[in-house]
Structure 1
Amino acid sequence: MSLRIALCAGETSGDQLGAGLVAELRARFPDAHFAGIGGDAMRAAGLDAWFDASELAVMGLAEVLAHLPRLLRLRKAFRQRVLAFRPDVYIGIDAPDFNLGVERWLKRRGVRCVHYVSPSVWAWRESRAAKIGASADRVLCLFPMEPPIYARHAVDAVFVGHPLADAIPLQPDRAAARAALGAPDAAPVLALLPGSRLGEIERMLPVFVAAASRLRGDMPGLRVLVPAANPQCRAAITRIAGDAPGLRVLDGDAQRAMIASDVVLLASGTAALEAMLCKRPMVVGHRIAGLTYAIVRAFGLLKSAHVSLPNILAGKPLIPELLQDDCTVDGVHAALLRWFRDGDAVAALQPEFLATHETLRRDASARAADAIASLLPARA
């Protein structure tokens, strides 16, 4: 009987991680059957998708509450289907609010479970590491500071590296990226990434576009590239940005836009890591729903001194983080202008970013597949 591997990825970044993992597992187990929740990339890699990853793409405490009844129905239906599938292993890819509960339920019923992408235990209550260990037989970590935290709680965790660090060259070709996007070599270029969720776009894009428009007053030839993650995001971006001068909305192509840019303006998240790997200076601007922010402050939930991965991995403030009430048009404009005008500051970032890139470059999908394969039953 061939292996049965169930997976669940909750958004675009998880779908990309899952696609690389499925490809590596298929290379080791050509007859395996892969099924679960994923997006287009995982389908292309061979996943039998029972539900689409977009159904889990909800961020923030307040936002999750609004979608909770639907998510609970989906989780109940999904975990029953996984159990009936009788997988040799269940792999939850990110989406911890959804996946950890599914993993815990399946593990109690004898299913081996792996959680791929550690929740941010270094930022939000380290004590969660023990609870994650109760859900997963093994945790696959993208960052090197994570396994030691799990070890303190007797949880099996493995650093596999980050697939983005494998995919992005150590020295990206900016001239080629500009040529592909039709951006002149001499033109100043700003890549503007307001997020891949509609709620993020609604909160962040008005401030970002206003700051970019003011920046264009300082640099009349400024080109602004705004990658849209999907058609829904493109529609929201077009509606909010209108006909802002010099602004061009792209269908995807976020990484190429970052490589082509002089500076990146983005909402916090995986995009900040990607911009760092592209070796571009950036400004992180982020606002969450007011209720979510109030809960975070009231209970002191955030333990890290930084929120963006470049700063967290470096252990110091390499890039500006403008959060909540600090994320204003004035503040964003000033931070962007500094990067455009201070070549020495930009140059000083490069060795910092390169060192982190090399640390994360570990052939992550292959390492993750090996870590999962060692949990699987031997086949005759």
Structure 2
Amino acid sequence: MPKIAIVAGEASGDLLGYHLIQALKQERDDLTFIGIAGPKMMSLGAKSLFPIERLSVRGYVEVIRHLPSLLKLRKQLLTQLLAEKPDIFVGIDAPDFNFWLEKKLKDKGIPTIHYVSPSIWAWRKGRINKIKRAVSHMLTLFPFEQSLYQEVNLPSTYVGHPLADVLPLEPDVEKVREILKINPGTIVVALLPGSRQSEVMQHAKLFIETAILIQKEYAETQTNQIQFLVPLITRETRKLFEEAMHQIFETRPDDQVNMQIMFGHAHDAMEAADIIIVASGTATLEAALLKKPIVITYRMP
């Protein structure tokens, strides 16, 4: 039974990994997947040796703070993957974490595939030689990236972004709102504060305060109801957002808004929305593909 080692570093990687595993299983049903996976990949049977949240860090400050534990985790993961003797390794994005793993595994004779080329066409193009030493084959999201790897004789394949195939060309807003049991005529605002716990910690109060402000401004001029949808992918991020809501509304009960926290279903929330307020990340691409008005924000510690 062929064994594929696979590592995704955050929610966007989990999404890419989900579609990759799904496509591979359509070709062969005897494949097994092991490494670091998120909930979407695990729903298809991927075994995660460590929680994906352990890799979901951002910014220099947070990376430095977690660096010792990340280095320890990476060594532990390498040891376990070598013991598993996979037939191939797939690293999804997370280049600083995955290229080291890929180099170690490639040196042991295990073919390595990296999914999502770093933006070497924009900055630090010299990295390409380091990439070549670590990667057997590169999967790119943009067609022009292939020529960069051809220059150094690194095999690459343009695969595009699966969201372009998954999301509808024309969103069926009425159908999604019916599924979500949203009353006709309601103005819907989707709030996406991020997929990492650190992002939700930084954005939760900001997004809630924004919802309160929108509610007050809108109530003065309009009669339609307004509803806020907040899709969150993990119990941890949901708990953080609920705690922020409790802190705000406990002291300001008159500022209550119609806010529905959803466990996942980000696509449904965005498809149902009239407008989307989103933390910068993969969700901005999803919102753009759904042809929705977007307000993009990001707050650093």
- Distance, in Å, in 2 between the alignment partners of 1:287 and 1:156 is 38
- Distance, in Å, in 2 between the alignment partners of 1:210 and 1:150 is 46
The 8 Å contact of residues 18 and 42 in structure 1, kept in 2 or not, is answered as yes
- Distance, in Å, in 1 between the alignment partners of 2:144 and 2:245 is 39
Q: Name the counterpart of 2:266.
A: 254
- Which residues of 2 match residues 104-123 of structure 1 at below 5 A? 104-123=103-122
The 8 Å contact of residues 168 and 277 in structure 1, kept in 2 or not, is answered as yes
2:245 counterpart of 1:233: no
- Distance, in Å, in 1 between the alignment partners of 2:90 and 2:267 is 27
Q: Name the counterpart of 1:69.
A: 68
15 and 186 in structure 1: CA distance in 2 versus 1, 3 angstrom threshold: same
Q: Name the counterpart of 1:137.
A: 136
Task: Using the TM superposition, give the Cα deviation of residue 217 of structure 1 relative to its aligned residue in structure 2, in angstroms.
Answer: 2.4
Q: Name the counterpart of 1:281.
A: 293
- Which residues of 2 match residues 66-215 of structure 1 at below 5 A? 66-215=65-214
- Distance, in Å, in 2 between the alignment partners of 1:215 and 1:138 is 48
Deviations 1:265-288 (A, max 9, x none): 111110101111221110111122
The number of residue pairs the alignment matches comes to 288
- Which residues of 2 match residues 271-350 of structure 1 at below 5 A? 271-289=283-301
One-letter amino acid of the counterpart of residue 297, structure 2 = G
- Distance, in Å, in 2 between the alignment partners of 1:80 and 1:106 is 10
Q: What's the C-alpha RMSD, in Å, of the aligned pairs?
A: 2.0
120 and 209 in structure 1: CA distance in 2 versus 1, 3 angstrom threshold: farther
- Distance, in Å, in 1 between the alignment partners of 2:242 and 2:102 is 39
Greater than 6 Å deviation, 4+ residue runs = none
One-letter amino acid of the counterpart of residue 233, structure 1 = T
The 8 Å contact of residues 133 and 156 in structure 1, kept in 2 or not, is answered as no
- Distance, in Å, in 1 between the alignment partners of 2:31 and 2:192 is 37
TM-score (norm 2): 0.88
Greater length-normalized contact order (CA 8 Å, ≥ 6 residues apart)? 1
Deviations 1:15-57 (A, max 9, x none): 2322322233233343333322213332332323322322222
The 8 Å contact of residues 15 and 41 in structure 1, kept in 2 or not, is answered as yes
- Which residues of 2 match residues 14-93 of structure 1 at below 5 A? 14-93=13-92
- 1:264 aligns with one of 265, 272, 276: 276
Percent identity, aligned pairs only, is: 40
- Distance, in Å, in 2 between the alignment partners of 1:93 and 1:136 is 12
Q: Identify unmatched segments of 5+ residues in structure 2.
A: 220-224, 250-255
Task: Using the TM superposition, give the Cα deviation of residue 123 of structure 1 relative to its aligned residue in structure 2, in angstroms.
Answer: 4.3
One-letter amino acid of the counterpart of residue 205, structure 1 = A
The 8 Å contact of residues 10 and 196 in structure 2, kept in 1 or not, is answered as no
- Which residues of 2 match residues 341-360 of structure 1 at below 5 A? none
TM-score (norm 1): 0.70
